[in-house]
Amino acid sequence: MNQSDDNGRIVAIRGAVVDVAFEAAPPDPGQAPPPLPAINDALEIRLDNRRILLEVQAQLDRRTVRTIALQATTGLRRGWPVSRVGGPVQVPVGEAVLGRLLNVTGEIGDHGAPLPADAPRRPIHAPTPPMRLGDGDTRLFRTGIKVIDLLAPLVQGGKAAMFGGAGVGKTVLVMELIHAMVSGYDGISVFSGVGERSREGHEMLLDMTNAGVLDRTVLVYGQMNEPPGARWRVPMTALTMAEHFRDAEGRNVLLLMDNVFRFVQAGSEVSGLLGRLPSRVGYQPTLATEVADLQERIASVGTASVTAIEAVYVPADDFTDPAVTAIAAHVDSMVVLSRAMAADGMYPAVDPIASSSVMLDPLVVGPDHVAVANEVRRAIEHYRELQDVISLLGMEELGAEDRRMVERARRLQRFLTQPFTVTEAFTGIPGRSVALDDTIAGCRAILDGETDDWDEGSLYIVGTLDEARAREEAARKERPAA
Active site residues: 170, 196-197
Distance CA 325, CA 426 (A): 34
Distance CA 347, CA 345 (A): 6
Secondary structure in 3-state letters for the chain: CCHHHHCEEEEEEECCEEEEEECCCCCCCCCCCCCCCCCCCEEEEEECCEEEEEEEEEECCCCEEEEEECCCCCCCCCCCEEEECCCCCEEECCHHHCCCEECCCCCECCCCCCCCCCCCEEECCCCCCCCCCCCCCCCEECCCCHHHHHHCCEECCCEEEEEECCCCCHHHHHHHHHHHHHCCCCCEEEEEEECCCHHHHHHHHHHHHHHCCHHHEEEEEECCCCCHHHHHHHHHHHHHHHHHHHHCCCCCEEEEEECHHHHHHHHHHHHHHCCCCCCHHHCCCCHHHHHHHHHCCCCEECCEEEEEEEEEECHHHCCCCHHHHHHHCCCCEEEEECHHHHHCCCCCCECCCCCEECCCCHHHHCHHHHHHHHHHHHHHHHHHHHHHHHHHHCHHHCCHHHHHHHHHHHHHHHHCCCCCHHHHHHHCCCCCCCCHHHHHHHHHHHHCCCCCCCCHHHHCCCCCHHHHHHHHHHHHHHCCCC
Q: What values do phi and psi take at 358, rounded to 5?
A: -70, -15
CA distances from 267 to 229, 254, 431, 471 (A): 8, 24, 37, 51
Distance CA 79, CA 20 (A): 9
Burial class of residue 195 (count of CB atoms within 10 Å of its CB; 0-12, 13-18, 19+)? buried
CB half-sphere exposure, 117, CA atoms < 13 A: 0
